[in-house]
Chain A
């Protein structure tokens, strides 16, 4: 009896030691996204992107199996850093993917400087300064950001639509500032104008747009709207009801399925609205089609088509896995070799090739789209054109681009 129990104890101990050894061989990957509050739905789709990439690699890379640990933030920088700290310092992740929202990204970039042995990859956060000013050596962003997403839209509005003067309605935080900047910069350089008193910045979650609508000037050609989700629906509905008839130009998350799927006159009203972003639902390409098919197969309860959030997290996770494969899963040098690989990594994504610039910011494809009525009567974003190799400085020299100044409500001045 006694020997038996001794044997059991020792074998259990041996088992524990061996599994302990196996666990030490595993690679721990952390993912952080907003899983609470107003952006929770988007955060869930982000996590789907992470899972798609991991599934594609069978949860292993470079011969090591990968353990995924997830964490939530509430879209505030403080909570993102707390979540990242928990993943890195408590759970011991060696690779971190995230976050979702712009200001969170800047905070995580600052935090990454204190953890030089951990490799940080952005999720989908799109603030410009995460990589443009004071970048961090171990923070990589394989998704394009808010200003890049507008590539081609300013030119399209000026040249093809013939607009010369724009009003702006946007939410009052860093991501819409970045989008407004990305749209207006080329538009104004071509000779367009967007007077300061025709720019309206509203808080996120604003319900009543009557004061904004009443103050919209009559002498502009169109309105640039950078609102997301419910905010966009509320503004468009109220503007239409107030008898507004100016054509629209939309930001990357403005005319998504929540707007296109809505009923009533808003539908007719948004037909013909141009927009731009990192994905296009209707892009007629094998790579995108197979990504969508995979998404639908894995997540029958997900969106009808993967959002740009799933897409961004997918690309960044995949970049990490490709680099891990390259170094044979060896992170014993604190991930230095893996980061070396990431720096020069170029790979095929569902939206075309992506590579990094010298500040570890993605150079990738941007889609110009326009709302049209599909064959079945549903509204869809038709792909007008694809611009490849859009870089963060929008084609100009880095030093020159810095002179444009940080994104803000007033930038560019453009009177």
Chain B
């Protein structure tokens, strides 16, 4: 049996079914469900995935992930094309998109360098401070970020005869990026680096004593998470066709945290599940209840999820699965030494 075969055979059949469903989804869904529900869910899922990499595997909760995505989103109109007569250097797409993602990853590395020496609540506070200061900087700087107005008129690329903002192509673009990073995270979690990062999360002092460079591993995790968030940022600016300080506000940073926590930080599918719940509620809660109360519905739904399942929506799924004695879906979930849910830990280790 070759290495590749064994890798594929280790994938639970449930994932193939899910993958097939996601591929046929645009054929059965309306344009609105393809673009605004499907595409936007995958974009938010990717940003939350970058947070999940840091928080789930590295134990570092960063509120600056939307800022990292925002850097990439701002890089597109600044170095590419926009309609507001500020900068817009007109770089070609094949340079522009990788460059935007790279700049975001560099920024994420910088955030990492600043924040990795802190723990817990202090990491949250430092990254929150970075997010807030970048938000105000973008809002008040007119030379680079065009202040409050931001940039509009960002066009999506056209190649192979396809306009990539049309609902179906855009959805597949998001799906391809999400599937790639999802698989990369699921695989990477069991790589040497992934396991080292999780060991550092559980006991940094011991890992340090064993000779591992704790800081370098954490900063590298920030770099990798930056690539994921940066890619999501590029998709986000293509999705909206615009970017302004409102795109990267503190409320959005909190939304990303909510998505990651509600989805579940124990498996890379969690952020996408959380994003789906968030997008559906954001769009349809107002139809369920009187419009002055719909935010209460959103809040209550999330409160209930976190109250009944500290591991979020995937935690509920795993509890149900464990009850039926099915083999666990979560090979890629972070193996945990100190989690309260020892039932899940058993499932992981089996």
Contacts and interface: CB of A to CB of B under 8 A. Distances in A.
Interface of A: 35-37, 44, 47, 69-72, 74-79, 81-82, 85-86, 89-90, 103, 106-107, 110, 172-174, 203, 408-409
Contact of B286 (A72, A81, A85, A89): A72
A172 B148 contact: yes
Interface stretch (B197-205, B242-250, B319-327): B242-250
Contact of B244 (A36, A71, A82, A103): A103
B291 A70 contact: yes
A76 B249 contact: yes
A174 B242 contact: no
B244 A90 contact: no
Contact of B283 (A70, A90, A408): A90
B139 A203 contact: yes
Interface string B136-158: 10011010000111101100000
Contact of B32 (A89, A103, A106, A174): A89
B25 interface: no
Given A89-B31, A174-B148, A77 B242 contact: yes
Nearest to A110: B152
Contacts of B246: 74-79, 103
Interface string B15-37: 00000000000000011110110
Contacts of B251: 37, 74
Contacts of A408: 142
B133 interface: no
Interface in B219-259: 240-242, 244, 246-247, 249, 251
A71 B249 CA distance: 21
A241 to B, nearest CB: 26
Contacts of A85: 32, 35-36
A76 B149 contact: no
Given A72-B286, A76-B247, A110 B149 contact: no
A382 B330 CA distance: 69
B4 interface: no
Nearest to B152: A110
Nearest to A76: B246
B3 interface: no
B292 interface: yes
A203 B246 CA distance: 13
A180 B103 CA distance: 37
Which of B30, B31, B247, B291 has the most CB atoms of chain A within a 10 A radius of its CB? B291
Contacts, number: 79
Contacts of B287: 69
B136 A103 contact: no
Interface string B71-94: 000000000000000000000000
B286 A71 contact: yes
Contact of B36 (A76, A86, A110): A86
Given A77-B242, A103-B148, A173-B148, A35 B247 contact: no
Nearest to A127: B149
A404 B35 CA distance: 40
Interface of B: 30-33, 35-36, 40, 136, 139-140, 142, 147-150, 152-153, 240-242, 244, 246-247, 249, 251, 282-283, 286-287, 291-292, 294-295
Contacts of A74: 246, 251
Contact of A36 (B40, B140, B241, B295): B295
Given A89-B36, A107-B152, A409-B142, 16 more contacts: A35-B292, A37-B251, A70-B291, A71-B286, A77-B152, A77-B246, A81-B242, A82-B282, A85-B35, A85-B36, A89-B32, A90-B283, A103-B246, A106-B149, A174-B149, A203-B139
Nearest to A106: B152
Contacts of A203: 136, 139-140
A86 B242 contact: no
Contacts of A81: 240, 242
B135 to A, nearest CB: 10
A99 B300 CA distance: 27
A82 B283 CA distance: 9
A37 B255 CA distance: 14
24 contacts: A36-B295, A47-B291, A70-B286, A72-B291, A74-B246, A76-B246, A77-B150, A77-B242, A77-B244, A78-B246, A78-B247, A81-B242, A82-B36, A82-B282, A85-B35, A86-B36, A90-B30, A90-B33, A103-B246, A107-B152, A107-B242, A172-B139, A172-B140, A203-B136
Contacts of A44: 292
A111 B283 CA distance: 18
A35 B291 contact: yes
A35 B291 CA distance: 8
A208 B268 CA distance: 44
Contacts of A72: 286, 291, 294
Nearest to B293: A35
Nearest to A74: B251
Contacts of B32: 85-86, 89-90
Nearest to A410: B142
Contacts of B295: 36
A409 B147 CA distance: 11
Contacts of A75: 246
A78 B240 contact: yes
A81 B30 CA distance: 18
B225 to A, nearest CB: 23
A69 B291 CA distance: 10
Nearest to B290: A70
Nearest to B291: A70
